[in-house]
């Protein structure tokens, strides 16, 4: 979907939701180097932050915040103490608050529904759906 938001508004909103100063990032890349899922992401954490600094609203279409599972590896290593997981959460919630779910649960096989622990479902719904 199209997000009608200017670069300035986007950054302001992300900073407000996450409580982080995006512009304190100096692009060292230790976040992406630490991320266990960087290979699966289109941007990865460093370029996700770079996109925000540049005010590119396409970052809202990126798979990066959705793949981030908040493991906090990048967060504890960031030399500028940016909570990158909170930035991902802010980007996810900007989509969710438009009433959009990121996943469709109807295709989960019945056998998996029985075996997967509740914490996986609750965690998934909280991070991936509105």
Partner 1 sequence: MKLPFYPGCSLKAQGKNFETSGVAAARALGVELIEIERWNCCGTVYSLTGDDLMRQVAPVRNLIRVQEIGGKRMVTLCAMCYNTEKRAGLRVRRDKEDLEKMNAFMDEEEDYRGEVDVVHLLEILRDEIGFERIRDRVEKPLRGLRVSPYYGCMLLRPREAEIDDGDRPRVMEDLLRALGAEVIDHPYKSHCCGSYHTVDDPQLVAGRAQAILSSITEHGGEMVALSCPLCKYNLDDRQELVAQIYPDFSKIPVVYFTQLMALAFGLEDAMGFDNHYVDPRPLLEEKGFLQKIQV
Residue 25 Cβ vs partner 1, minimum distance, rounded to whole Å: 17
**Which CB, 18 or 51, lies closer to partner 1?**
18
CA–CA distance, 119 with 27 (Å, rounded to integer): 34
Footprint on this chain of partner 1 (rule: CB under 8 A): 16-19, 36-37, 40, 67, 69-73, 75-76, 83, 85-86, 88-90, 93, 103, 105, 108, 112, 115-124, 126-128
Residue 4 Cβ vs partner 1, minimum distance, rounded to whole Å: 21
Residue 73 Cβ vs partner 1, minimum distance, rounded to whole Å: 7
CA–CA distance, 117 with 125 (Å, rounded to integer): 13
Residue 74, Cβ density class (10 Å: 0-12 exposed, 13-18 middle, ≥19 buried): buried
Residue 10 Cβ vs partner 1, minimum distance, rounded to whole Å: 15
Report helix, strand and coil shares of the chain as percent, to nearest 5.
60, 0, 40
**Which CB, 28 or 116, lies closer to partner 1?**
116
**Which CB, 3 or 70, lies closer to partner 1?**
70
CA–CA distance, 109 with 9 (Å, rounded to integer): 41
């Amino acid at each position: 979907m199209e997000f009608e938001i200017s670069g300035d508004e986007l950054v302001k909103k992300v900073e407000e939701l996450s409580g982080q100063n995006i512009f304190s990032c100096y692009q060292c890349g230790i976040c992406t180097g630490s991320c266990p899922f960087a290979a699966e992401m289109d941007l990865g954490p460093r370029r996700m932050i770079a996109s925000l600094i540049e005010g590119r609203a396409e970052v809202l279409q990126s798979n990066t915040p959705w793949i981030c599972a908040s493991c906090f590896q990048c967060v504890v290593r960031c030399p500028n103490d940016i909570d990158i997981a909170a930035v991902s959460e802010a980007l996810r919630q900007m989509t969710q608050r438009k009433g959009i779910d990121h996943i469709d649960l109807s295709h989960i096989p019945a056998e998996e529904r029985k075996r997967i622990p509740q914490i996986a479902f609750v965690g998934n719904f909280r991070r991936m759906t509105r």
